[in-house]
Every structure is written in C-alpha cells, then in structure tokens.
Amino acid sequence: MELTHHREWTGRVFIGASLDGFIARPGGDIDWLTDPLPGPRHVSMTSANEVPGWDDFLPSVDHLVMGRGTYEKVLTFAGWPYDGKRVIVLSSMLDADDARITVARTLEDVLRELAGSRARQVYVDGGKVIQTFLRAGLIDEISIGWAPVLIGAGLPLFGFLDSDVQLSLVASNAGDGGMVHARYLVHRRAAQSEGEAVSADH
C-alpha cells in the first residue's frame, strides 16, 4: 500500500543493526550494540560525506513514531530521551497512562496525528513500525550503523516488501568500534525527474 496523498513531513530512520540485520536479540537486548565485548580492533574511516550522528540527528526531528516494544524499551533507559518532541506509539493494545506519548491504534491514526500536529521531521523507530512505514512508502531517509557482530537471531530491521525500494547512497563512513555507517535517501521513480533522488523536504 503506497499512501500517495500529500504529506508535509519527512520519514526518517536512524538505527543500529547487527551485521546480520537484527536490531535486538529475541528478548529485546541490545547489549551487543551498546556494550560490545572488548577485543576486536577496528579501522575507522573518515569521509567527505559522513553520516550525521545521534547528537545531530535527534535535535533535527520534531516527532517520533514507534511501536509498543520500542516504547517499553525506552522506559528502561535512565531518562526519557525525547523531551520536547511529540511521541506517537502505534499499538493496537497499549493502555498507558503516560502524558509524554500519544497512542495511535492504526497507521491511519498516526498519519492523522502527524498532519494535525504539523509534523515536519518524523523519526520512525522499531522494526515493525519501520517495516510498516516502508511498505506504505512513508520512509524518505535511512541511516544505518552496522555493528561488527553476527548475533544469529533477533528482531529483524527489515521485512517483506511488495516491491523493491531503490536507495540513493548519500553518505558513508566507519566510526568508532567498527561501526560502518551509511545514509540513504529513498529513490521514488514515479515522483521525480530523471536521475534525481528525492525526499520530502529535502
């Protein structure tokens, strides 16, 4: 389902994954990402087109959309990282008494909230929600950091698609700890002039 109606916002993914494509272990642990085992040495590689890091990315977004699993993971963090941003949790079941979030039951509800809230830069987080947004043509930009580890099982970053999603590589570098970063814009064939990568608000 491609939602072709006009939208005012850019859908952005910023995520770390294991080299085998998982964003968390089956139980949700991200220790392999946040606390990698010491030992392996890595090269780092600067670039003329480096992928902006978290400290640049987070201030650039005004809204977040995430699933229940991601929300519950964030609740385990030392503090709420999203003060000043509108956070929408897409969940058919969640019953939370938390003034920091808005619960949306369906994708259509999310889109209504984003439109009503004049969203411009939307950070889309969590595997299932990222996959839902990708299938609906609502992702414009993907920044991935590949951690130098294979974990063998877990929650997948990507999932089934109705058709290929062509990407335009706009930045890449190798950062600390063997992380390989790459930033892509989603290439929309129908909505563009020849050879131009497009994304909303870019």
Inter-residue contact 48 to 179 (CB < 8 Å) = no
Could you say whether residue 167 binds a second copy (CB under 8 A)?
yes
- Rounded CA gap, 202 and 52, in Å? 15
Which range of residues in 55-63, 76-84, 108-116, 193-201 is near a second copy by CB under 8 A?
193-201
The single residue among 1, 75, 150, 191 that binds a second copy, judged by CB under 8 A, is 150
Q: How far, CA to CA in Å, does 137 sit from each of 10, 21, 22? A: 11, 21, 22
- Rounded CA gap, 168 and 81, in Å? 30
Minimum distance from residue 116 beta carbon to a second copy (Å) = 30
Question: Computed over its alpha carbons, how large is the radius of gyration of the chain?
Answer: 17
Could you say whether residue 146 binds a second copy (CB under 8 A)?
yes
Minimum distance from residue 114 beta carbon to a second copy (Å) = 23
- Rounded CA gap, 167 and 185, in Å? 6
Minimum distance from residue 7 beta carbon to a second copy (Å) = 20
Site for a second copy in 34-93 (CB under 8 A): 36-43, 45, 47-49
What sign results for the dihedral spanned by CA atoms 158, 86, 59, 199? positive
Residue ranges that bind a second copy, judged by CB under 8 A: 19-21, 32, 36-43, 45, 47-49, 134, 144, 146, 148-153, 157-174, 178, 180, 182, 184, 187, 189, 192, 194-197
